[in-house]
Structure formats: structure tokens, C-alpha cells
Structure 1
Amino acid sequence: MRLLLGLGNPGPEYHHTRHNVGFLFLDFLASRHGISWKREGKWEAGVGKGELWGQQVLLAKPLTFMNRSGLAAARIANFYRLEPSRLVVFHDELDLPFGSCRVAQGRGAGGHNGIRSLMEHLGSRDFVRFRIGVGRPRGELPAAGYVLAPFAPSERDRLERLFVFLAEGVQLLLQRDEKAAMNLINASPAWPSEEGL
């Protein structure tokens, strides 16, 4: 079984923000594949167990807020006796433009507090990461305010198409391996392109 973990903040005020793109992508997968969510208090997470492309998965959204995401992740991983390499994390990435994504494994936190928390509580960086680009703010807007702001209307129009592409990468990861997912996702400079919209 794989643990697919989306990073974000709980609460309706954060739902459509850039920082919650990991939550939003898991909601997309759950909706597409008929996986229902429930709140699991012992893990402080929303979870959905099911099957994606013939593979057993547990979808999870920590409800501990971004900076403490590792608490929920470690509790779930320990319960199912999953090695960190069985964890796939989806999170926002300021250093990639919107529409870009990179799959990585074994990287440092790169200033992302949610990833830092995962490394601290799992005692490892050996998990797979889908780094979903949200771009950097223009002008004087601080990065913290930017990621906690909602996606722009033009971005929201593109999100579902981007998620369809990312799901292809997840399918390759589950049915084949991490390298296959990297070969697809990392070869794309940005998708969907502006021309394709």
C-alpha cells in the first residue's frame, strides 16, 4: 500500500489557497475514483482508503496545519508500518512557476515548513514528492501572504487540467515506479501550456 499525503491547512478559509494545492489534488483524485473521506481523530487527519489503478492506497490530509504535517504522517505510517519510501507527498512549490511540477525523492525541505515537519517526524527524507508549482509573488507581496491567498481566476481555470496531467504521473508511479513518474512529469517544462488553453 502507498500513503498519498496532501499538504495544506484545514478550514474553509484556506480551502482554495495556493498552500492547499496538495489537499485540492487529493480531493480531485478521490472524486475521480470514488474514494470517500472521513476524519480520523487518532491521526488528526482526513483519510480515504481505496484503489487507484488497481493499487491499494490511503489518501490523507493532515489536520494539524502545515507546519505540523509530520505528526499526522508519522502516526499513519507507524500504524500501517510503512517505510518513508512508501509515502508520496503533494505540496505547493514557490520555486516552480504555476503549471509546472517536478517529482523528486530524497531532497531537502527547501524552505517548505510542511516538508521540514515530515522529515523531522519521519526521521527520513526518502519519500517521493510531487512539487506543484504556484510561482512567486510579484511586487511587494510577501511569500507567506501569497501562498495563503486564493488562486487567481485564470489559475483556477487551469487547475483541473493540470491535475489530470499529474494523475498520469501518479498512475505511472503506482503501476510502475518513481522513475517512470519522473520521466513523464519532469520532462514537461509547464503543463498545461498557455497555448493549450
Structure 2
Amino acid sequence: MIKLVVGLGNPGRQYEKTRHNAGFLFVDYLARECGVAFTEVARFFGEVAECKVASEKLLLLKPATFMNRSGQSVGALLKYYKLQPEQLLVVHDELDFNPGVVKLKKDGGHAGHNGLRDIIAHLGTKDFYRLRLGIGRPPAGKAVAEFVLSAPSRQESDLLDAAIKTGLDFVPQLAAGEIDAVMNRINA
């Protein structure tokens, strides 16, 4: 049963519409669907919202620590609410999938994603769920950092929105604990 949804991204207007902020975009859409707003909470080093989905309380988090230090924020919130890593869903951009692709997985490495790397380091485990939103790979000659910190094309943005909407459709099942069913459908 998922109790906390963390969207990964970087704070600040200059990063708002970048590929790397796909996770922030996801939790912003979810908060809007729930009719709730984020509030800055210093002890969690980020913005937090609380909503009800499928009759379950769901916490939403946008770390304000920048991507590379996301674990500080996630770890603080998990500890405060006494949540287990397997109750955590981290939503992030995924280079290995084309724009529009969305997949759910548990465990695994960080695959070079610095936000995931820091969360794994802070929690001391890989035992949490990840909703991976495809952004594709940079074109030849363009550095990965430059690519993820730039805005997607209009077509890529539309595909990312579609992937987010697909992921949002499964949030009630994730909150209700139907994780295997979601994995079977979303990864098919």
C-alpha cells in the first residue's frame, strides 16, 4: 500500500518546465486532482500536501533540496510519519524510455539518476517503488545534464502529459494496495 508519493525535480522557476521535473509535474497534477495545495515544511526540506485517494490518506512530497539531495527530504518525512520504504512511490524522469512510456518497478539500482542515488543512500535500501516517466535519450553530441535540464519539445511534452495521465489513473489502486495488479497492467 502506497502512503507517500514523491515527485523528483529541482525547485525554482528556471527548472519548472524541464524534463528533469517530470516527477514534480506528476505530483502537481495529483494535488490538483485532489483539490489540495502544497505547503513548504522546513522539517521535511520540501513542499508537502495531503490528499485522500481511494479512501486512503496519501502524502505528496516535492523535495526542495535539488535533485541530487532528494534523500534528505524523503528520509525526513518517512522517519517522521514512521513509514516503511515499501510504502514509498518515487516518480521520476527516465532516460531509458521514449517520451510517453510509463512503467512501475520495485527495487533496482539508480541507473545514474542522482535523485534515486541519494534516496537509496539515505534510506539504506532500494526497496521502494518507482514510477518511471520516459523522456528519451539526448541526441548525439548533447550532454545528458544539458538534455534533462532543458524543456522538451511540444510533441515530447504532449507525450509526457499522456504518460502522467496514465500513471495518475493507477494511483487509486496503488493507494489501495493493488500494486501487483497495477504492475501487470502498466508494464504490459
Q: Shared fold (TM-score greater than 0.5)?
A: yes
Q: Identify unmatched segments of 5+ residues in structure 2.
A: none
Higher relative contact order (CA 8 A, sep 6+): 2
In 2, Cα distance between the equivalents of 1:68 and 1:43?
A: 12
> Which structure 2 residues correspond to residues 9-158 of structure 1 after superposition, within 5 A?
9-158=10-159
Normalised by the length of structure 2, the TM-score is: 0.95
| 1:88-143 Cα deviation digits (max 9, x unpaired) | 10000101111111111011111111001001101111110001110001121111
Which amino acid is 1:89 matched to?
V
Contact 2:3 2:87 in 1 (8 A): yes
Which amino acid is 2:42 matched to?
G
SS in 2 for 1:42: helix
Which amino acid is 2:74 matched to?
A
Which amino acid is 2:45 matched to?
E
Aligned-residue RMSD, C-alpha: 1.2
Contact 2:53 2:171 in 1 (8 A): no
In 1, Cα distance between the equivalents of 2:22 and 2:176?
A: 24
In 1, Cα distance between the equivalents of 2:66 and 2:56?
A: 28
* Structure 1 counterpart of 2:160: 159
* Structure 1 segments of 4+ aligned residues over 6 angstroms from their partners: none
Contact 2:102 2:163 in 1 (8 A): no
Q: CA deviation at 1:160?
A: 3.1
SS in 2 for 1:31: helix
**Alignment size in residue pairs:** 187
Q: Identify unmatched segments of 5+ residues in structure 1.
A: 188-197
In 2, Cα distance between the equivalents of 1:117 and 1:181?
A: 26
SS in 2 for 1:138: coil
Contact 1:169 1:184 in 2 (8 A): no
SS in 1 for 2:77: helix
Contact 1:97 1:134 in 2 (8 A): yes
Which amino acid is 1:126 matched to?
D
SS in 2 for 1:46: strand
Contact 1:3 1:60 in 2 (8 A): yes
Normalised by the length of structure 1, the TM-score is: 0.91
Q: CA deviation at 1:60?
A: 0.2
